[in-house]
Structure 1
Amino acid sequence: MAEKKTSTTRRAVAYAVLRRGEIPEFVDEVEKKHGYKVVKTFVDWADVIATKGRFKELSEMLTLIHRGELKVDAVFVPSVRVFRNLDLYLFVKRLLELNGVELRSIRRREKHTWKTQTERLRETSRRNFIIEMILYAMIWGAGIYLMYILREPILTILIVATLALTGYTYYTKTYKVRKRLLKKLEELDRVDTLKNKRNVRFNITLKGVEVIETPF
């Protein structure tokens, strides 16, 4: 019975950024509520990050996982804010995905960590686009109705100009910006070149991620 339980128990590591004297209390929740066995906990100290700008424990955790020296099913964090910026979050998530490891946040409002950021943005973009097109059609309908009722040349010109300006503003300030953001996220989400490179170490700082090739 013991061997069967061990073989089916999901393994996880916990990662957190804490102040001196704090402890990663969320580890108990990971084991009791989510049913994972936390085999190791990595903690970066906030004062070290602030002064030296380095995520030492995060670098070590990702290195061990990518080199196959630490076998786990998931990495749990108290919040995705521990990664400080979107670029680092996307790198960590994609690298873990390449190694078959899930990145999960215990915060209920951060369930989007179960999906890639680009997938979530696409879903939001599609939903917003439909809503915006409906509103835009209503505005055009109201404008055409006013032109039909008023039948004043000057007012008609003003209404047409307003509708045209509204369309131009939407295209330049909303549609194009969202499209550029999606393209940027897709670029940041690609770390596939590391898939077949296992003899590497990661040095993560506030400035970015350094990938160092090393002999085994």
Structure 2
Amino acid sequence: MKKLIYTNETRLMLQAGYNNDWAKAVNAAIVELKDVTGELTDEQLQKFLSSPSFLCDALVEAAKKEYDTYMANLPKSVRLSTAFSDGGISDAVNAIHKTLMAKKPRQMVDKVTIKNGVCLLDKDGLEALKVECSVYGGEQAEKVWKLSVKAAKALNELQSAIEGNNAFADAVECWGRWQGFITINDDKTEHYKPNPNILNTLPGEKE
């Protein structure tokens, strides 16, 4: 059974920020949407986000049924002279959706949900984001990760010692066989870091 080995907390915090900002944008759009459509269920709002055409079809169908019921009680001459119109509701819904989608971060892993008419990143969504920002594996992957952490620490100490002796500052970057297991960063205090992505390439560690 695979277990949690590493969580990229920086990425997790960034993704949580994206999702919370997105939820705010969605809630603002919901206010606009309800001005056009009236109250909507959570399911309808979810459809609006995933495929507004489905919501538009449902709204137009409901409006047509209401129209037909009303017209059934009117004289035939009135029915024949009056054509059904959705009042531009489809165009309005699609316009709101298009404007909203332009605000969605492309790099965002979407884990928001709709509850009681409000879009939010709830506890389950945050947990799902954590999974997206984490690496899981077995004993071999855990062993490799721990050794990579130690190696990165040793390389950082070596880098500091080389710089302290006025030697060539980037000498340690001739890493050769370490490539893939250790990454190089611009961070002065932690120039070398273990690379969790390499764990996914270990034999027997893939899903």
Q: TM-score, normalised by structure 1?
A: 0.24
Higher RCO (C-alpha under 8 Å, 6+ residues apart):
2
Q: TM-score, normalised by structure 2?
A: 0.24
**Which has more radius of gyration?**
2
